[in-house]
Amino acid sequence: MIGYLIFGITLIIYIALSSFVLQPAPRGGDYTIGYAYAAFTLITAYGLSSLLLTINITASGGFNWISDSTFKRNAAVAILWLGTVAGVVYCTIGRTEYHKYYHLTGSVRLLSYIIYYGATWLPLLMLVPYFLFLKHEWQDTFFPNLFKIPLVLACVLGFLLLLTPKIMSDILLKPFKKLDEHELAFNHAMKNIEKYQAVVSLLYYSGKEYDGPIRNAALSKIKANKNLENELIAILERLSPYGAYYFLDENKIEHPERFTEPIIKSFSTIIADMHEDIVNPYKGVAFDVAILLRVLDGQFKGSIEVFKPHILKLQEVMKTPLAKNRYYGNTEQCNEVIYKNRKEVKNWLDKH
Tens digits of per-residue pLDDT, 207-224? 777 888 888 998 899 999
Say what the pLDDT of residue 170 is: 58
How far apart are the C-alpha atoms of 182 and 214, rounded to whole Å? 12
How far apart are the C-alpha atoms of 107 and 245, rounded to whole Å? 49
286 touches 314 (CB < 8 A): no
Tens digits of per-residue pLDDT, 110-142? 777 777 788 888 888 888 888 888 776 666 665
Q: 184 CB contacts (<8 Å, ≥6 apart)?
A: 103
Q: 186 CB contacts (<8 Å, ≥6 apart)?
A: 211, 213, 214
Q: Which of 176, 157, 158, 26 is nearest to 98 (CA)?
A: 176
170 touches 100 (CB < 8 A): no
What's the average model confidence in pLDDT over 306-335?
83
Q: Which pLDDT band holds residue 20 (cuts at 50, 70, 90)?
A: confident
Q: Residue ranges of the alpha helices (H) in 196-241?
A: 199-202, 212-223, 228-238
Q: Residue ranges of the alpha helices (H) in 62-105?
A: 70-89, 98-101
How far apart are the C-alpha atoms of 316 and 8, rounded to whole Å? 84
For 56: left if phi > 0, alpha if psi spans -120 to 50, otherwise beta; the answer is alpha
Tens digits of per-residue pLDDT, 165-207? 665 555 555 555 544 556 767 888 888 888 888 898 888 888 7
Q: Which of 65, 41, 47 is nearest to 129 (CA)?
A: 65
Residue 31: pLDDT over 60: no
Tens digits of per-residue pLDDT, 144-162? 667 778 888 888 888 887 7
